[in-house]
Amino acid sequence: MPRPITLFTGQWADLTFDTVCEKAKAFGYDGVEIACWGDHFEVDKALEQDGYVQSRWDILNKHGLKCWAISTHLVGQCVCDDPIDERHKSILPSHIWGDGDPEGVRQRAAEEVKKTARAAAKFGVKVVNGFTGSKIWKVVAMFPPVAPSMIEDGYKDFADRWNPILDVFDEVGVKYALEVHPSEIAYDFWTAGRVLEAIDRRPAFGFNFDPSHLYWQMVDPVGFVYEYADRIYHMHVKESIRTLDGRGGILGSHLFFGDHRRGWDFVSPGRGGVPFERIFRALNDVGYTGPASVEWEDNGMNRDQGAPEALAMCRRLDLTPSGVAFDAAFASNK
C-alpha cells in the first residue's frame, strides 16, 4: 500500500478549514495535517464544545480526506522561549498571551499543549507536531563566552517544563513530535540526540522530521533518519536551497525570505537541494509508515501552483521496495 500524502494547513490559515480541504482534495492529496490556529482546529472548542470534533470530521469526510496529525507549532514555541516578547504576542491567541508576563505566558502555553494532547486523543489522531522553544537558543553564537552550566541548564529547563506535559501525552496515548528547527531546543543532529537524553528517551517525545532545516545547515538528512529511526513520528516534505554566491551568507543577513541576497531560502519541494529520493528510501528502510506531509513555503511562487507539483513529486518518490534482492533471479535454475 502506498504512503499517504497530506497537506499541512499552516500556511493556508488565511482560508477557512473548509476551503483548504476543498483545495487539498482538488490537488489530489489523501489528507491534511491540521494546524491548531486560524479556524482549522480550535483546541478549546474541541474539548468543551459538543460536536466540534465531529464537525471537523464532517468537513474532512465531505472532501474524502483523512487525517493523522494536528500541529501546535506556535503555542509550543512559547513553552521554553526566553525572552518572550512582541514576536510571541503576534502568534498567540489572546487568552494565552494574557498580560504578556513571560513566565505566565510560558505556563499558559504549557497548559495549552496539554489540552492539545487531550484534544488530539478525542479527535482520534496519535501525533501532535510542534515546536518547543528554547531557553538557550539565544546564545547559539557562543559569544560572549557561555559557561557549560548555562547550556546544561537549558536542557534541564526543557525537561522540567516538558516532562509534565509528556505525562499527559502518555495518559491519553498520543505522541509529541518536535520539528527539529533553529530556535528550538534541538536544531541539528547533535542537539537532537542531546534532547532525547535530557528526558531519558521517553517514548512520548520524538521528532517531526523536516529535512529542509537540516539541509541548509549542511547536516545530512539521510544520516538523521538512520540515527533517530525509532523517534521519527511524522515527517514534513519541505524544501530549501543554498545560494551561496560569495555575498549571501548562511545566517541570512537579517534579510527576509524571498530576498535574492540571502544565502539560502525555502522553495517549493523539488526545486531545491534536499535529497528527497534518498530520504524516501531511508524512511522505507527504517520502517516509517506514516504520512508524508507537504509543508509548502516559497515566496517566489504561487501556492496553488506549488502544492500539486509537490504532491506529484511525492507520488513519484513513494516507492514500494522490491520484495526480493534483484540478483535472486539469477539463482532460479532448477
| By CB under 8 A, residue 207 contacts its own copies | no
Ranges within 222-241 binding its own copies (CB under 8 A): 222-223, 226
Please name every residue paired with 207 in a beta bridge, in sequence order, or none if there are none.
178, 232
Smallest distance from the beta carbon of 305 to its own copies, in angstroms? Answer: 7
Identified binder of its own copies from the candidate list 27, 187, 209, 228, rule CB under 8 A:
187
Exposed / middle / buried, residue 172 (Cβ in 10 Å: 0-12, 13-18, 19+): middle
Amino acid at 86: E
Identified binder of its own copies from the candidate list 30, 112, 210, 297, rule CB under 8 A:
297
| By CB under 8 A, residue 285 contacts its own copies | yes
Smallest distance from the beta carbon of 281 to its own copies, in angstroms? Answer: 4
Identified binder of its own copies from the candidate list 159, 202, 278, 312, rule CB under 8 A:
278
Query: What is d(CA 178, CA 93) in angstroms, rounded to the nearest whole number?
Result: 21
Per-residue burial over 222-237, b if 16 or more Cβ lie within 10 Å, else e, is bebbeebeebbbbbbb
Binding pattern for the stretch 99-138 against its own copies, x by CB under 8 A and - elsewhere = -------------------------------------xxx
Smallest distance from the beta carbon of 241 to its own copies, in angstroms? Answer: 8
Smallest distance from the beta carbon of 243 to its own copies, in angstroms? Answer: 7
Smallest distance from the beta carbon of 108 to its own copies, in angstroms? Answer: 14
Query: What is d(CA 62, CA 65) in angstroms, rounded to the nearest whole number?
Result: 8
| By CB under 8 A, residue 8 contacts its own copies | no
CB count in 10 Å sphere of residue 24: 27
Per-residue CA distances from 142 to 100, 137, 138 (Å): 28, 10, 9
Smallest distance from the beta carbon of 288 to its own copies, in angstroms? Answer: 14
The three-class DSSP label of residue 206 is strand
The answer to whether 80 and 157 are in contact (CB under 8 A) is yes
Smallest distance from the beta carbon of 61 to its own copies, in angstroms? Answer: 25
Residue that has been written with the C-alpha cell 507539483 in this structure: 309
47 or 222: whose CB is closer to its own copies? Answer: 222
| By CB under 8 A, residue 143 contacts its own copies | yes
| By CB under 8 A, residue 218 contacts its own copies | yes
Query: What is d(CA 154, CA 240) in angstroms, rounded to the nearest whole number?
Result: 28
Binding span for its own copies by CB under 8 A among 56-64, 98-106, 114-122, 292-300: 292-300
84 or 165: whose CB is closer to its own copies? Answer: 84
Interface with its own copies (CB under 8 A), residue total 104
86 or 200: whose CB is closer to its own copies? Answer: 86
Q: Residue 108 has which C-alpha cell?
A: 499558559
The answer to whether 45 and 63 are in contact (CB under 8 A) is no
Ranges within 49-108 binding its own copies (CB under 8 A): 73-74, 77, 81, 83, 86-88, 90-93
| By CB under 8 A, residue 252 contacts its own copies | yes
Phi/psi region, residue 212 (left: phi>0; alpha: psi -120 to 50; beta: rest), is: alpha
Smallest distance from the beta carbon of 205 to its own copies, in angstroms? Answer: 19
> Using CA of residue 17, residue 20, residue 21, residue 22, what is the dihedral sign?
positive
